[in-house]
Structure 1
Amino acid sequence: MAVTIDERRRAPRTYGNWRRPTSAGLFGLGTFGTYGLMIGLVVVVFTVMIANLVTAAVVFGVLVLAGATLVIRDVHGKNALSRMGARAGWFRARSAGLHLYRSGPLGRALWGTYQLPGILAPTRLSEHTDSYGRPFALLYTPAVGTYSVVIGAEPDGASLVDQDQIDSWVADWGHWLASLGNEIGVEATAVTVETAPDTGTRLRREVEANIDDDAPEFARAMLREAAASYPVGSSTVRAYVSVTFSATPRAGARRRDPDEMGRDLASRLPGLTASLQEAGAGATHPLSAQEVCEVVRIAYDPAVAPLIDEAHAAGEWPEISWTDVGPSATEASWDSYRHDSARSVTWAMSAAPSGVVQSGVLARLLAPHHDIARKRVTLLYKPIDAARAAAMVEADLRAAEFRQTATRKPAARDTAAVRAAASTAAEEASGAGLVNFGMLVTATVLDPAKEADARAAVDNLSAIARLRIRPVYGAQDSAFAAALPLGLVLSKHLSLPAEVRERI
């Protein structure tokens, strides 16, 4: 019997074809912007009829100037109107003193507690038990009516793993995101990968627990010296997956309270964690209320991390309540955020990688870096249900075709956009899910003098990942909170809805 071995190697699998949502319009404007342009031209015509040409010319000049603030965009896609709005919002907040926060018995927070600042202030935390008997924390945000659960993960990574297995994990992760679009009440999900210095407490505890008293003195001294010196410069990597649900299961229904939501999620969490394991997340478990409190407490004050690790090493669990996990003092500036013992800078993704990429494109960005004490990379996903996805891809295709046919000589970018929109529509028609996504990157340093090094490191890492990011100017405190694994949905906290922004 002859055996034939096919030694042809398959080409590496690539990913891409992501598109920013657009709307049909003229001269680079959206739908609402085009309507405003038409109304302005009508006003100019009536001005010519009622007044004179000089007045009409002035009105036309004002119209052109207003259109320029919408059409002219920077490298990050921000027009002059959005930049002026950010500046005005920051000036108003700074004038009112909202960029400063003081809590505790001598602070300005109510009840003399260390309450969380900003958009996290009204949140409430409760604990429930799922059908497997595991406690899980439920974070309620009453301002927007959402509940969030946080799942801890221990991904194996791609080291010494076959490429076929990695491709399978990526496919399963895509299926998991697509399945969320069919879950009742799911608003969004986020993946947070946090790197931090290793305190060495766990290694010392493991060594001390396994040292034999009858061993030679030299061997015991060597083990203790290794336990004391080995953690220096090492890092730990933690991953979290947060899933956010709406408090109202359907339109017109009443808002559910935490007990009702806890009973509903108790039977759904085991399925979510099991499917995450198939996507390469490793051992997954929902975080308890105590674990969530520790994560937030360390994020706002990294100096307490060694103390909490030492308490765990001693077999103790420090009791931290949700009303006392906040910082004692914070100060938000235009491009940075000072909180207790650290200073942080948060960037937001303004453009996804152009072209196609491989599965390891974010590996360097997610890995620890010696110039950054603590780094938090949060991928934000907003699944879209199948009923809305079909209409969205068709509307996007029509908008791309409209921009291509708006001029006699369409630009190459418009032609490529039509091809990408058609490909997306074809994939959605064949059963693929549709997901809006974004990214936040937070770099935290303990020494303010190292902030410039951290900024340069993040810029280099984003360039390697082929990402285009920009600091969240004027909203560093809110962006810092959104990057935490708490399931906040930023689009629900905007004064101007994202759907309206896309159509201007």
Structure 2
Amino acid sequence: MGLLGMDTTSTFVALGVAMLLVLIAATVPHVLIYLLPPTLIGGALGLIRVGGVPLVRLLLARCRWRWGVLRGHNRYRAGVVIDHPRAFQLPGVLAPLTLLSAEDGYGGRYGIVWDRRTGLLTATLRVVPASTWLADRTDADTWVAAWGGWLAALGHMPAVRWVTVTIDTAPEPGSTLADAVDRAVVATAPAPARAIMSELVRTAPAAAADVDTRVSITFDPRASTAGPKDLFEAVAELGRILDGLASRLGGCGVSVRGRASAAEIAGTVRTAFDPHARGEVNRLLSGANAEDALTWCDAGPIAATEHTDRYEHDGGVSVSWAWHEPPRQNVRSDILARLVAPGPFPKRVTLQYRALPAAAASRVLQQEVNAAAFRAQFRRRTGRDETARDSWDSARARQAAVEEAMGAGVCLVSMYATVTVTEPEQLRRAVAHVEASADAAKIRLRRLWGSQAAGFATTLPCGICPPEVSRRLIH
């Protein structure tokens, strides 16, 4: 309900300052000579916006960044030969995380990222989505409706804090096919058969795409109705929740491959920090002792440096964006196809869903309807005409309230994207490629100036949520 583009809190602060100035002018008017200059400067800093952000927030962020650089908080160096169990601790917001391995109840094991500071647990499901291009429109609509129902069910699970869906794509130089054939061919095979397989590998396309889709679920034991008393009970409760969520994902157009193991999670983090290690990590994970091949100590970088516009780490330079504005149009099921499609550079696109509790969803949507009515009344009182966007926002608010009353859920949705290059001179081309893909999807991405490390970590299967991290730092 803000005025002049301000939020509710800023609006009431501005009104309070205006009333205070009126009272001072009525009682001691000579004091206004000293109060008006700082008031005008403060109002200008709060009202002038750069890229939709108030100027005062940009100045505060810049001051905090400079203070952090002076204290060395933007640099990370891990010792290689150090007799210390925490020598390979991960940098930045990943520092309090550690990796656990738990039994899944079916004879296997899976990995859990444990935030030792907040107690949150994050497990990852590996899925394979079905292509909507080769499916009937009826099937695609059914999958979208089932996904909406899956998200709506999260509103009845207070222990599930957020769900992170990541599409990880990277160019594959062809080593995967060669390694698979080398493992399959035995020395006693006939010579003509071995020659045919070698010719197949040689004539196959040299470049392919490595695509991995993950659904990471962050669990808060303190909000669970079961009330787990320790970490073991919390892990057991998380396993039961994963079984229910994974079984319902099958109707959303994806095939669940299973839960990601601890080695797979560590390998994903390792390849993100060092793109050159992708082939080696794939070989280790496909080996006989894959569970013990990679640990959390192998996941972190040796060195990392955060700049305002990029993040330099082992063997690569990354740039991260956040979702600045969603599409102002009807969203189809294939609207993100170009953005998440494989490209010439390693890329991760993450959608994060924070479901509102079912009891609070109706209240939030009613506030949106009231805000639309307040803006309409304000326009009539001030003699302003209604714009097409105002009409659209008002209609969407009423439609969302109706859909929630019919059983739909309410989620706070955010998007993050990260692209990585191995050569610094390729960075501008990679940035242009991602931004052009986002424009084709009618999505406005905003580079995370001064928060590149946090954006980079958000696209990993580690349960990082930037709004929660920022709120935690403020408190």
- TM-score, with structure 2 as normaliser: 0.91
**Retained in 1: the 8 A contact 2:311–2:452?**
yes
Q: Closer, same or farther in 2 for the Cα pair 1:417/1:314, shift >3 Å?
A: closer
SS in structure 1 at match of 2:324: strand
- Aligned with 1:34 (options 3, 7, 11): 11
What residue in structure 1 maps to residue 276 of structure 2?
A: 303
Question: Structure 1: how far apart are the matches of 2:332 and 2:442?
Answer: 11
Q: CA deviation at 1:44?
A: 1.6
What residue in structure 1 maps to residue 440 of structure 2?
A: 464
**Retained in 1: the 8 A contact 2:264–2:285?**
no
- Aligned with 2:79 (options 98, 104, 116): 104
What residue in structure 2 maps to residue 14 of structure 1?
A: none
- Aligned with 1:277 (options 246, 250, 273): 250
**Retained in 1: the 8 A contact 2:176–2:279?**
no
What residue in structure 1 maps to residue 419 of structure 2?
A: 443
Question: Structure 1: how far apart are the matches of 2:5 and 2:267?
Answer: 47
- Aligned with 1:389 (options 318, 340, 361): 361
Q: CA deviation at 1:316?
A: 4.2
Question: Structure 2: how far apart are the matches of 1:325 and 1:206?
Answer: 24
Post-superposition CA distance 1:436-460 (Å, at most 9, x none): 1010000000111100000110110
Question: Structure 2: how far apart are the matches of 1:275 and 1:177?
Answer: 11
What residue in structure 1 maps to residue 212 of structure 2?
A: 238
Please give the residue correspondences for 1:119-158 in structure 2 after superposition, counting only pairs within 5 Å.
Answer: 119-158=93-132
**Retained in 2: the 8 A contact 1:187–1:245?**
yes
Please give the residue correspondences for 1:412-427 in structure 2 after superposition, counting only pairs within 5 Å.
Answer: 412=387, 413-427=389-403
Of Structure 1 and Structure 2, the greater helix share is in 2
What residue in structure 2 maps to residue 337 of structure 1?
A: 311
What residue in structure 1 maps to residue 64 of structure 2?
A: 89
Q: CA deviation at 1:381?
A: 0.6
Higher mean C-alpha deviation, range 448-457 or range 86-95:
86-95
Q: CA deviation at 1:25?
A: 2.8
**Retained in 2: the 8 A contact 1:404–1:415?**
no
Higher mean C-alpha deviation, range 43-52 or range 269-278:
43-52
Q: Closer, same or farther in 2 for the Cα pair 1:207/1:399, shift >3 Å?
A: same
Q: Closer, same or farther in 2 for the Cα pair 1:497/1:407, shift >3 Å?
A: farther
Q: CA deviation at 1:39?
A: 2.0
What residue in structure 1 maps to residue 54 of structure 2?
A: 79
Q: CA deviation at 1:489?
A: 2.1
Higher mean C-alpha deviation, range 159-168 or range 332-341:
159-168
Please give the residue correspondences for 1:38-437 in structure 2 after superposition, counting only pairs within 5 Å.
Answer: 38-52=15-29, 55-56=31-32, 59-75=35-51, 77-105=52-80, 111=85, 113-208=87-182, 209=184, 217=192, 220-221=194-195, 223-228=197-202, 230-249=204-223, 256-312=229-285, 315-317=288-290, 319-370=293-344, 372=345, 374-408=346-380, 409-412=384-387, 413-437=389-413
SS in structure 2 at match of 1:70: helix
Question: Structure 2: how far apart are the matches of 1:255 and 1:495?
Answer: 25
Q: CA deviation at 1:236?
A: 1.0
**Retained in 2: the 8 A contact 1:123–1:140?**
yes
SS in structure 1 at match of 2:279: helix
Consecutive unaligned residues of structure 1, counting only runs of 5 or more, are 1-23
Aligned pairs, number: 469
**Retained in 2: the 8 A contact 1:181–1:433?**
yes
Post-superposition CA distance 1:168-214 (Å, at most 9, x none): 11111111111111124111001000001224343224434258966
Q: CA deviation at 1:59?
A: 2.6
**Retained in 1: the 8 A contact 2:185–2:194?**
no
Consecutive unaligned residues of structure 2, counting only runs of 5 or more, are none
**Retained in 1: the 8 A contact 2:166–2:459?**
yes
**Retained in 2: the 8 A contact 1:336–1:346?**
yes
Q: Closer, same or farther in 2 for the Cα pair 1:229/1:102, shift >3 Å?
A: farther
SS in structure 2 at match of 1:283: strand
SS in structure 2 at match of 1:145: coil
Question: Structure 1: how far apart are the matches of 2:68 and 2:84?
Answer: 20
Q: CA deviation at 1:117?
A: 0.6
Q: CA deviation at 1:38?
A: 2.0
SS in structure 1 at match of 2:49: coil
Q: Closer, same or farther in 2 for the Cα pair 1:105/1:313, shift >3 Å?
A: closer
Q: Which residue identity does 2:406 align to in structure 1?
A: S
Question: Structure 2: how far apart are the matches of 1:415 and 1:394?
Answer: 17
**Retained in 2: the 8 A contact 1:348–1:441?**
yes
Question: Structure 1: how far apart are the matches of 2:209 and 2:250?
Answer: 24
Identity of aligned residues (%): 31
Q: Closer, same or farther in 2 for the Cα pair 1:256/1:337, shift >3 Å?
A: farther
Q: Closer, same or farther in 2 for the Cα pair 1:214/1:289, shift >3 Å?
A: closer
Higher mean C-alpha deviation, range 253-262 or range 134-143:
253-262
Aligned CA-pair RMSD = 2.6
SS in structure 2 at match of 1:357: coil
Q: Closer, same or farther in 2 for the Cα pair 1:159/1:230, shift >3 Å?
A: farther
Q: CA deviation at 1:324?
A: 3.5
Q: CA deviation at 1:470?
A: 1.0
Question: Structure 2: how far apart are the matches of 1:425 and 1:73?
Answer: 31
Q: CA deviation at 1:46?
A: 3.7
Q: Closer, same or farther in 2 for the Cα pair 1:254/1:305, shift >3 Å?
A: same
What residue in structure 2 maps to residue 18 of structure 1?
A: none
**Retained in 2: the 8 A contact 1:350–1:469?**
yes
Q: Which residue identity does 1:386 align to in structure 2?
A: A
- TM-score, with structure 1 as normaliser: 0.86
Question: Structure 1: how far apart are the matches of 2:286 and 2:257?
Answer: 22
What residue in structure 2 maps to residue 4 of structure 1?
A: none
Please give the residue correspondences for 1:486-497 in structure 2 after superposition, counting only pairs within 5 Å.
Answer: 486-495=462-471
Q: CA deviation at 1:496?
A: 7.5
Question: Structure 1: how far apart are the matches of 2:287 and 2:321?
Answer: 37
Post-superposition CA distance 1:337-392 (Å, at most 9, x none): 0011011000001000111132111111111112x2x1000001101111010110
Question: Structure 1: how far apart are the matches of 2:33 and 2:400?
Answer: 44
Q: CA deviation at 1:61?
A: 4.4
